Amino acid sequence: MKVPWLVVGAGFAGSVVAERLATHLDERVLVVDRRAHVGSNAFDERDEAGLLVHRYGPHIFHTNAPRIAAYLSRFTAWRPYEHRVLARVRGRLVPMPINLETINRLYGLSLDEVGLETWLAERAEPRPVVRTSEDVVVARVGRELYELFFRGYTRKQWGRDPSALDASVAARIPVRTNRDDRYFSDIFQAMPAAGFTAMFERMLDHPRIEVALDTDWSEVRRLARTAHVIFTGPVDEYFGRRFGPLPYRSLEFRFETLEQERYQPVATVNEPDESVAHTRTTEFKHVTGDVGARTTIVREFPRADGDPYYPIPAPAAQARYAQYRTLAGATSGVTFVGRLATYRYYNMDQVVGQALATAERLASGQAAAIA
């Protein structure tokens, strides 16, 4: 079969590019994924208890870009949802990100916003250059809160100390002096009403898109002689790891269905203590709005080996990626899009934004990569 466009990966990057090309160009698009389902890590399905669960860990949609929310709204209705997280610290559950309530509860204080700013300023250790994840937290809240909330969690999640990770990792989590206890502060926060998988199915349900699941890139590589490839898998894998493997962080997900209506007061409880092996526990009912006598939770255990989930924002890994990026830029017939293909710690909305921009470039024929 001859197709002009071959998309590898049916996650956000691949599905958005496929939908845009098929719609704009009136040309056929073949999408392959080696997994048995679409949606990649955002894949959700009903479990044996009939509850919607995210098979690759909790995925919460949030964005500050109206254009991205509007684009996805073509394929799904939404259920308003604001994510809340508690952290277990010194045996108590307190709001995370750190806010006024967190400090007052943990230290038995009754500070107001101004009082908390002063309290934090007395503890913060200013750093002339903020380079690492340790710098960014210690400079804002001081060493004790850094150790209670960030150090152990980060060491577990990444298998390295915050001092060995770019500032951007811990900087994802704000520190608030008000009582806002939402995990995200984006203008748009909602979950696809019928789940992510249903949204992907609608996106890919197009007369000019064909989806082949359980199909590895290596099985269809011959089609690339006549097709332009959009690759959304790991970039080092595409190039046979010729500059050495890029490091990724993985997770093991342990699901459990309990004979009780509710397990915990909010969707996610974080475990920053290093003596606890998992990083967080999520109860899906909070996120999905499902009801019923039973409830399903998932615990996340960080791993060095396994499916590549997280690119590592650290200098050596980024230097190696820079070699692949240069090679990718010089390789015709293929365009790299997404979290693994561009080795960026991107949220779903950022991947959608990158994919929309890439598809526009490809569709308007400006990309040198099309040559």
- Please report how close the Cβ of residue 123 comes to ligand UDP at its closest, in angstroms: 17
For the beta sheet containing 188-192, the strands, ordered from the edge strand earlier in sequence to the opposite edge, are: 62-63, 188-192, 78-80
Nearest CA-CA partner of 17 in 366, 359, 370, 369: 359
**Cβ atoms of residues 51 and 289 within 8 Å:** no
Q: Is 42 in the site for ligand FAD (CB under 6 A)?
A: yes
Q: Is 312 in the site for ligand UDP (CB under 6 A)?
A: no
Retrieve residue 293's tokens.
Answer: 């006598």
CA–CA distance, 284 with 259 (Å, rounded to integer): 14
CA–CA distance, 148 with 151 (Å, rounded to integer): 7
Task: List CB contacts of 227: < 8 A, sequence separation 6 or more.
Answer: 2, 3, 4, 5, 6, 30
Q: Is 55 in the site for ligand FAD (CB under 6 A)?
A: no
Q: Return the number of the residue (42 or 51) whose C-beta is nearest ligand FAD.
A: 42
Q: Which of residues 87-146 bind ligand UDP (CB under 6 A)?
A: 87, 96
Q: How many CB atoms lie within 10 A of CB 180?
A: 14
Options 20, 28, 55, 59; binder of ligand FAD; rule CB under 6 A: 59
CA–CA distance, 32 with 16 (Å, rounded to integer): 14
Q: Which of residues 297-356 bind ligand FAD (CB under 6 A)?
A: 309, 338-340, 346-349, 351
HSE on the CB side for 345, CA within 13 Å? 19
- Please report how close the Cβ of residue 88 comes to ligand FAD at its closest, in angstroms: 19
Q: Return the number of the residue (8 or 269) whose C-beta is nearest ligand FAD.
A: 8
Options 6, 21, 30, 33; binder of ligand FAD; rule CB under 6 A: 33
Q: Please work out the total of residues on this chain that contact ligand FAD, with binding judged by CB under 6 A.
A: 33
Q: Please report, for the chain, how many H helices and E strands are present, in that order.
A: 14, 17
HSE on the CB side for 202, CA within 13 Å? 14
Residue 340 site contact among ligand UDP, ligand FAD, none (CB < 5 to 8 Å, cut-off depends on kind) = ligand FAD
Q: Which of residues 203-222 bind ligand FAD (CB under 6 A)?
A: 216-217
Residue 195 site contact among ligand FAD, ligand UDP, none (CB < 5 to 8 Å, cut-off depends on kind) = none
Retrieve residue 112's tokens.
Answer: 């107001």
Q: Which of residues 186-215 bind ligand UDP (CB under 6 A)?
A: none
**Cβ atoms of residues 49 and 161 within 8 Å:** no
Q: Which of residues 97-126 bind ligand FAD (CB under 6 A)?
A: none
Q: Return the number of the residue (40 or 154) whose C-beta is nearest ligand FAD.
A: 40
CA–CA distance, 6 with 11 (Å, rounded to integer): 14
Q: Return the number of the residue (138 or 287) whose C-beta is nearest ligand FAD.
A: 287
Residues that bind ligand UDP (CB under 6 A): 87, 96, 149-150, 153-154, 157, 169-170, 172-173, 270, 272
Residues that bind ligand FAD (CB under 6 A): 8-14, 32-35, 40-42, 56-60, 216-217, 232-233, 251, 309, 338-340, 346-349, 351
